[in-house]
Amino acid sequence: ERPLTAKEKRQEQLRRWESSATDEESAVLSNLKPKVKFHDGAVFLAACSSGDLDEVQVLLDKGADINFANVDGLTALHQACIDGNLDVVEFLVEHGTDIDQQDNEGWTPLHAAASCGFMDIARYLVDNHANVAAVNSEGEVPLDIAEDDEMLEFLQQEIDNQGLDVESARNEEQETMIADAKQYLNSMHNGDMPSIYRHPKSGATALHVAAAKGYIDVIRLLLQSGMDVNLRDNDGWTPLHAASHWSQQEAAKLLAD
């Protein structure tokens, strides 16, 4: 289980978002001259953050992407869950937003609602088929980051009612990555040169992900295949940077050797 300070840091990051990007964009937008065009996604996030559903509808009618995410991967639905704005949550869900879209830390809107303690929003999301066993980058489901007793009881009850195997959900990503790494290694042995997949936004490779999450078996397979340990993502981070940042000591040692 990761330290509480890390959880608190993440919660503070979520709260800070309310008074950072969208607030600043909203304030700037109100003073813009018509000839200045802001990114459509930023306009949409600002409108949702303000709670102006008429404006949100106008933007959707003009083709705004309801699932647009900011640089942290937060969507309008994440934001509404953080703000505790059930009206906006309902509007977005009714208009087809991705209810399980994950931000850069793997948090779904339900993670955000659970962390912030908004029972009405959590119930609404679950009633609309949000995944209560969605796993974030730390291997946590919404239940793991909930602190309110009512929220804990509600999420546990949902997991039980749905007969979900949370531990299997936690391990699913690692098992998938192991299978992919084995396939990559087999391709190399067969003389093929498969291209290295990078995340479209972060530029991270599978080795970055495995390093950050401490997936030792995946790291070993990727290193065995000859994957470059010095590949950098869009922020200039190598897999070793990722392992060190997320305190994955065994992964860091393996990458450094």
3-state secondary structure of 69: strand
pLDDT score at 17:
46
Q: What's the CA gap between 3 and 25, in Å, rounded?
A: 33
Kindly report the CATH number that applies to the domain delimited by 167-256: 1.25.40.20
CB of 161 within 8 A of CB of 149?
no
93 Cβ neighbours under 8 A, 6+ residues apart: 77, 99, 124, 125, 128
pLDDT score at 34:
40
Low-confidence residues in the chain, pLDDT < 50: 1-6, 17-38
For the stretch 141-196, pLDDT in tens is 999 999 899 999 999 999 999 999 888 888 887 888 888 888 878 776 666 655 67
Phi, psi of 33 (to 5 degrees): -80, 150
CB of 178 within 8 A of CB of 213?
no
Q: Which CATH number fits domain 4-164: 3.40.50.2000, 1.25.40.20, 3.40.640.10, 1.20.1070.10?
A: 1.25.40.20
Residues in the chain: 257
Do 167-256 and 4-164 have the same topology in CATH? yes
pTM: 0.70
Q: How far is CA 79 from CA 6, 49, 88, 89, 177, in A?
A: 20, 7, 9, 9, 30
User: Would you kindly state where each structural domain of the chain is located, as residue ranges?
Assistant: 4-164, 167-256
